[in-house]
A and B are shown apart, each in its own frame.
Chain A
């Protein structure tokens, strides 16, 4: 059984139940609950989606209709690190296409893909509200701005050094 099929950990279930109970209607916790699953497990598998649906009193179809509406809910596995690279207009003007191509080269993937070692997923994202420091991207929870080739290389190197055994020291 992969982690995608294992039942949700009990503490996470309890958290989600508490989120639902705190809202005027349980389904208001839908996105926060899915994001909580994702924060723990990286992405939302079918089995976990069904678990969350059960906790919120929704059908899996109902919840999946919500989940697939949004950008930040990952319904497919992602790498240990997720890069969200802005592809909106200010960053585009400031040359994000070339930097994206460079990052793709360095990682050996195209946007939307995950590196073979499962370390990194690269996804395009709409404007990150960092336009005064365009081009910008978010690596996990860290915002990087004023990117240039050197910056891309630095980030790619750091990620390459991150093995499943642990992050670089």
Chain B
């Protein structure tokens, strides 16, 4: 630790950080705009001026930009210096010469960094008496509003969008005080991380468009910590709500996971909670028609059903551990299904097993950012785990960091590091059947069928460790590439292998694990990251259960009386014929879900469950991190958490043996007690008994307005606050709040003088470091295994697939998810739906010229527009799952029908 002196006060500083960081960490109020903890310093806004003295005898000192000045031991500076203060006030005054006085109608008002900094610098009187410039705004699509007149030209937007996220369609235009930040022409922002502009922009240029339609001031919003449900990465979020609806999702900082950024699917996908497809009352099939019934009636109906034979529960990888566990308790462990069909079911278990057994590290997202050689083996990461893709994008900067380190340039000197490293790019290899967003920054790409990619992977493992099985008959170019990749990974200090289950091939994660194991024998920093599809896929893999195929077999044998399906649209998992056969063999179907699905339309009984915003629960991310989401909305009955429905059904069926969990902590404890692999989940977040300074935490800012008036059209009485037994957060503005709040319980970020998201700085132990109150979640797979000693190598998988052979008249359809349109729930959110593009088939150049192709798969026939891509290997086709073909989610041979035969 270094010591620096701020206005005479000795303060600890981390050597190598900059003075701005050091001042903020010391609790000082030093304004800034262009600096961002994740983007580093560029010295554009000149807002962070301080006076620095060269030593104790220096009486004059000089004005420096704190963000551009390294904090060296013994540094002496003054924030309070009159000239520095005057300069900082002038910077805001200059910014204000063109900034409109539209705070009252600006969506940023009340959480505006520019407002905070204006107050902080004391600029209060307008002296500029000339006209302001005006800009024309652009339509940037369904996610982000654009109001360029508010721009203060801090350049953060383009630095994030272009430099950090690799976006191409946002730029700075023109010069002097005409600089304009926008697109070349109106149109939706193309980058999948565009929503972060809303938080990156320190003023109201880029704001959340869906939120503006249901707008409330920040101080009028209740907040709760949540976890994104739209993929398996487990990004931490804050959900804001007012009255009875969710209003927006914001990033919640987690040092090791998503840090400062979310993908657009996560930020804008929450709209499904208010979609017309929401279920709000129990529905029973009466005279063939789903009819709302009272809860008691529904439960009685189930009681009758349960007498007709065994109850089988089908869980879901998009439901919480609690809901799955309660269903498992209802049906019994032997009659509980993970809700996944093969190959997904087996792959989820395989991934959990590989990660547990691997001698390589299981990296966090933040670890992935610092990998210095990356191999992606058969997974389109930027669509299956978008935020992980963003982390991998940062990994290629390691080479530039090395150059900067050698030149003694601190890594936060962003522009300098990018200048020096202009031609330096750490190796990233992308081996996927089709193109990915990371290809442009890859050292090499390899386009092949999944089996051939797996073969490449095994060959790489063999290249690193000759005792790993060899791959016979590898084509020469693949052998050369494998040797190159093997040598590169071997030479790297922090190599990382990424694979997943997207293509339904066990050989891919196995090959990835083999490479990682081979590396780990020499390098304790070697890492293996495996990606599963859904927000609780890993939780279910750890909980275990029957596959859907096993359920089908049970049904065929007449072994099912009632099927209870928890938050799982089986039409996405089983092809129509298989589903029909299953349902035909089952007398009763009960569906518990928050959203109507094609499956719920066929149920005898539908029970409305709470969405993630309306209940609490635990999800296990693909890296095996159990994380808690908390309730922000308190809906009236009968809406309740899925686990409560399962409990109530159990009680209806057999009051004697049914579980008696009352609140979330009860069931969490029950899970921990019953399932060893999930034992630590109680530590994912403090329980409902948590108190800060003896009080519950508040989830509403103390200024919240209209507590009574907001419902005055219904009643003018002050309504008692809702009961909130599942959360340590009080549902009102009464309660404790402060910078030591645990990371798992952050309802919103605010600190004295800091009303914007920038106030996060006050909640971290150090800028960019862990939360003062501790990070959220608990690692289940290997959190304790962060030691340096190499671990013993597990046995290599020996089942090396045969080379892929195309078939005449058929094509191997591979599921190629999309950022928007293939994930179930986000697609129900209107802004996401607006970005969904029509399904199309990507195939190799088949010499044909027809704009469409007709396919037959499992009795379904579709005609799809076709994109011919000469880079694709012949014999395969990439097809977005769940769009054109119902239930298509795993590779399958489809029959290509002669063209012109377009009649079904």
Contact = CB atoms under 8 A, between A and B. Distances in A.
A88 interface: no
A59 B173 contact: no
B174 A69 contact: yes
A148 interface: no
Interface in A27-60: 46, 49-50, 59-60
Contacts of A62: 162, 168, 171
A130 B392 CA distance: 54
B174 A68 contact: yes
B170 interface: yes
A22 to B, nearest CB: 18
Contacts of A164: none
A29 to B, nearest CB: 16
B175 A61 contact: no
A162 interface: no
Interface in B145-177: 162, 168-175
A61 B184 CA distance: 5
Contacts of A68: 173-175
Given A46-B185, A64-B184, A59 B172 contact: no
8 closest Cβ pairs, A-B complex = A59-B168, A65-B171, A61-B171, A61-B184, A60-B184, A68-B173, A68-B174, A61-B169
Nearest to B173: A68
Interface residues of B, number: 12
29 contacts: A46-B184, A46-B185, A49-B184, A50-B184, A59-B168, A59-B169, A59-B171, A59-B184, A60-B169, A60-B184, A60-B185, A61-B168, A61-B169, A61-B170, A61-B171, A61-B184, A62-B162, A62-B168, A62-B171, A64-B171, A64-B173, A64-B184, A65-B172, A65-B173, A68-B173, A68-B175, A69-B173, A69-B174, A69-B175
B535 to A, nearest CB: 33
A150 B185 CA distance: 45
A64 B173 CA distance: 7
A69 B172 CA distance: 9
A46 B171 CA distance: 15
B170 to A, nearest CB: 6
Contacts of B184: 46, 49-50, 59-61, 64
Given A62-B171, A64-B171, A65-B171, 16 more contacts: A46-B184, A49-B184, A59-B171, A60-B169, A60-B185, A61-B168, A61-B169, A61-B170, A61-B183, A62-B162, A62-B168, A68-B174, A68-B175, A69-B173, A69-B174, A69-B175
B899 to A, nearest CB: 31
Contacts of B183: 61
Interface in A56-100: 59-62, 64-65, 68-69
A50 B185 CA distance: 11
A67 to B, nearest CB: 9
Nearest to A24: B423
A75 to B, nearest CB: 10
A60 B171 CA distance: 9
Which residue of A50, A59, A61, A65 has the most chain B CB atoms within 10 A of its CB atom? A61
Contacts of B172: 65
Nearest to A49: B184
A46 B174 CA distance: 15
Interface string B777-819: 0000000000000000000000000000000000000000000
A61 B169 CA distance: 5
A64 B181 CA distance: 11
A62 B183 CA distance: 9
B357 to A, nearest CB: 44
Nearest to B422: A25
A49 B169 CA distance: 14
Nearest to A50: B184
Interface in B185-218: 185
Contacts of A46: 184-185
A62 to B, nearest CB: 6
Contacts of A49: 184
B418 to A, nearest CB: 14
A49 B171 CA distance: 15
Which residue of A50, A59, A60, A64 has the most chain B CB atoms within 10 A of its CB atom? A59
A24 to B, nearest CB: 9
A4 to B, nearest CB: 14
B833 to A, nearest CB: 26
Contacts of A59: 168-169, 171, 184
Nearest to B178: A68
A29 B489 CA distance: 35
A44 to B, nearest CB: 13
A46 B186 CA distance: 13
Contacts of A60: 169, 184-185
B169 to A, nearest CB: 5
Nearest to A69: B175
Contacts of A61: 168-171, 183-184
A112 to B, nearest CB: 14
Contacts of B168: 59, 61-62
Nearest to B169: A61
A124 to B, nearest CB: 14
B519 to A, nearest CB: 33
Interface in B519-534: none
Contacts of B170: 61
A91 B701 CA distance: 62
Contacts of B174: 68-69
B432 to A, nearest CB: 21
A49 B175 CA distance: 18
B608 to A, nearest CB: 46
Contacts of B169: 59-61
A50 B169 CA distance: 12
A59 B171 CA distance: 10
Nearest to B180: A68
A123 to B, nearest CB: 15
A60 B169 CA distance: 7
Which residue of B169, B171, B174, B175 has the most chain A CB atoms within 10 A of its CB atom? B171
